Structure 1
Amino acid sequence: MTLTPDASGVFPIAPTPFNPDGTLDWASTEKLFAFYDEIGSDGTTVLGIMGEAPKLEPDESLRIVKTAVAGMPGKPVIVGVSAPGFAAMRSLARQSMELGAAAVMIAPPPSLRTDDQITGYYAQAVEAIGTDIPFVIQDYPLTLSVIMTPAVIRKIVTDNPSCVMLKHEDWPGLEKISTLRRFQADGSLRPISILTGNGGLFLDFEMERGADGAMTGYAFPELLIDVVTLQKAGKRDEAHDIFDTHLPLMRYEQQQGVGLAVRKYTLMKRGILKSDAQRKPGSAISAAAKAEVDYLLSRVAKIDPRADI
């Protein structure tokens, strides 16, 4: 299976489950992907920024890819392969595809500043991993500090036929989605899948602007599936209603520095992860923060019983 430009739906970004001693929790890893599959996710993405990928050993990374592919049979697995050098990127990309991954995701290094540097980097990355591997552009300026204009994204897509998807995480970014879809409408950009991130905070309107779905890591991916499904069915008010129910918890989870800790805590309370541990160096949330999350969950549960945990 390989990823194609018509990919759509919800691809949860998988956190990496750890035991309190920092070792990989493989039982929870298997349970996580089984959960994604059971709720109707259209695929998944592993070894992303929120997956603590830089903290993993190469063999651990490959085992996570293998576990994801096995846990979501028939569904595409995208692997984050961003690395300081192209040798490591190529190795992980090609080994992941051999294990059954559908595509890889490449983020630009923070040192890139000019448009030519950005487009040149992606050309070199594609040359390194091979033009036979489908890839996803990760556009995440808030964390990576690399600004990609719609014109730059169009050039990367046009110059590299193996580019099949944009992971859109600009903020504010609604106008960027609209501009890219206008490029597509006027024929200056070939069709490409656009999945959005940022914890789902803007998914309600991103779908209306032309996004194909979400690729992010909110602790209730079922909510993301609901919003995408309802918007595709033209049920705008219903999509916004369920989205608004979860928005306070989504906002809390999106805090810089502690967002992953909040997400893992919630997934642990849901019984999907055995521990909310991160591999060092990692953050943790205080007892006060946990109480706040519990309060938010109780409020969401008044309308959405899935949060009654």
Structure 2
Amino acid sequence: MTHLTEDAHGVYVIAVTPFLPDGGLDLESTDRMVDFYLETGATGLTVLGMMGEAPKLTIEESRIVVRRILARVAGRVPVVVGVSAPGLAQIQALSTAVMDDGAAGVMIAPPGNLHTDDQIVSYYHQAAHFIGDTPFVLQDFPLATGVHMSVPVIKRIIEDLPGCVCLKHEDWPGLEKISALRAEGAVSRRISVLCGNGGLFLPEEMARGADGAMTGFGYPEMMVDVVRHHRAGTPDRGQDIFDAYLPLARYELQPGAGLAVRKYVLAKRGVIAHATLRRPGAAITDAARAEVDRLIERQEKRLKEIG
């Protein structure tokens, strides 16, 4: 497998982790999910992310899931693995394991106890030392981690650590951060910027200089189309497609409920067999299911109208 590079672009779908009703791993659905993501045009996959319920997996289960996905992908697209953990030794062990299995790179989020710029930079220096030559994605998701990375901090990490090849941009609001990083002369080395937040700001992020998305949505083909049309010079067509999906994307991004909604949509589409979240995690309610069904019906109607 080719390693992740600064040229990464397109849509790296954040994969869910399918479970059986009893909470066990559903590996048959995992295979079907991989096929679905690739069929919809994903240029890469990211596994064991925050929306992949990674903290709920044992170390052995994490290895099983990664190996299963890598085997199904069979080298067709790069696979990035989230390895964030409380200790650097854990990050090192998981990084070594998944890279040996064929991953293209790893993703590292900062622990929540980092409060100053120097602490953040120092942490990534230490993490980079532990993972060696492994290329990594810098995850900037302050709403989840509580760690706010300023543009100067991100610049220091990029310029100090050649292994940092991609920024998972998930600040909110964060459009000005993209513009600042893409300004001429802002950084000495251009890296990939792939955006999160369920694709809710993807048209604007692409216009600001992002290279694509690294996030999830029950209809990942929306993100693929938005990125494709932007790169093809037809952003208005991408915006029309985005607008059709926006009500459902907004609904799915609800804090605390979004993953249940996403899994319900994927199960409804036949991608995974069950919408199970591993405990702790609340299932989607009957009222929410009805709301999602209505949004999907209206979405399909809108898509027919725009052709």
Q: Deviations over 1:135-170 (max 9, x none)?
A: 000000111111001110010111111110000000
Pairing 1:83–2:96 present: no
Counterpart CA distance in 1 for 2:52 and 2:41 is 21
Counterpart CA distance in 1 for 2:285 and 2:267 is 15
Pairing 1:101–2:90 present: no
- The aligned residue for residue 19 of structure 1 is 20
Counterpart CA distance in 1 for 2:287 and 2:187 is 52
Distance 1:212 1:278, change over 3 A: same
> Given that residues 20 and 274 in structure 2 are in contact (C-alpha distance below 8 angstroms), is that contact kept between their aligned partners in structure 1?
yes
Q: Deviations over 1:101-147 (max 9, x none)?
A: 000000001111100000000011111121x1000000001111110
Q: Deviations over 1:46-67 (max 9, x none)?
A: 0000000011111211121112
Could you tell me which amino acid in structure 2 is paired with residue 96 of structure 1?
V
Counterpart CA distance in 2 for 1:194 and 1:13 is 15
Q: Deviations over 1:262-284 (max 9, x none)?
A: 00000000000100001111122
Question: What SS class does the counterpart of residue 191 from structure 1 fall into?
Answer: coil
> Given that residues 207 and 213 in structure 1 are in contact (C-alpha distance below 8 angstroms), is that contact kept between their aligned partners in structure 2?
yes
Q: Spell out the pairing of 1:277-296 with structure 2 (5 A cutoff).
A: 277-296=276-295
> Given that residues 110 and 146 in structure 1 are in contact (C-alpha distance below 8 angstroms), is that contact kept between their aligned partners in structure 2?
yes
Deviation at 1:303, TM superposition (A): 2.6
Q: Deviations over 1:156-194 (max 9, x none)?
A: 111111110000000001100000001xx2163301000
Could you tell me which amino acid in structure 1 is paired with residue 101 of structure 2?
L
Could you tell me which amino acid in structure 1 is paired with residue 89 of structure 2?
A
Counterpart CA distance in 2 for 1:6 and 1:300 is 33
Counterpart CA distance in 1 for 2:228 and 2:93 is 36
> Given that residues 37 and 71 in structure 1 are in contact (C-alpha distance below 8 angstroms), is that contact kept between their aligned partners in structure 2?
no
Distance 1:299 1:125, change over 3 A: same
Question: What SS class does the counterpart of residue 304 from structure 1 fall into?
Answer: helix
Pairing 1:145–2:152 present: no
Question: What SS class does the counterpart of residue 20 from structure 2 fall into?
Answer: coil
Q: Spell out the pairing of 1:46-57 with structure 2 (5 A cutoff).
A: 46-57=47-58
- The aligned residue for residue 131 of structure 2 is 129
Deviation at 1:234, TM superposition (A): 1.2
- The aligned residue for residue 207 of structure 2 is 208
Q: Number of matched residues?
A: 302
Question: What SS class does the counterpart of residue 302 from structure 1 fall into?
Answer: helix
Counterpart CA distance in 1 for 2:189 and 2:274 is 44
Q: Deviations over 1:195-229 (max 9, x none)?
A: 00000000011000000000001110111000000
**What TM-score comes out, normalization by structure 1 length?**
0.96
Counterpart CA distance in 1 for 2:235 and 2:281 is 39
Q: Alignment identity in percent?
A: 56
Could you tell me which amino acid in structure 1 is paired with residue 177 of structure 2?
K
Deviation at 1:304, TM superposition (A): 2.8
Pairing 1:298–2:297 present: yes
- The aligned residue for residue 162 of structure 1 is 163
Could you tell me which amino acid in structure 1 is paired with residue 112 of structure 2?
P
- The aligned residue for residue 261 of structure 1 is 260
Could you tell me which amino acid in structure 1 is paired with residue 165 of structure 2?
V
- The aligned residue for residue 118 of structure 1 is 120
Counterpart CA distance in 2 for 1:201 and 1:91 is 34
Q: Deviations over 1:23-76 (max 9, x none)?
A: 000000011111111222101000000000011111211121112222223311
| Unaligned runs of at least 5 residues, structure 1 | none
Counterpart CA distance in 2 for 1:189 and 1:200 is 28
> Given that residues 170 and 196 in structure 2 are in contact (C-alpha distance below 8 angstroms), is that contact kept between their aligned partners in structure 1?
yes
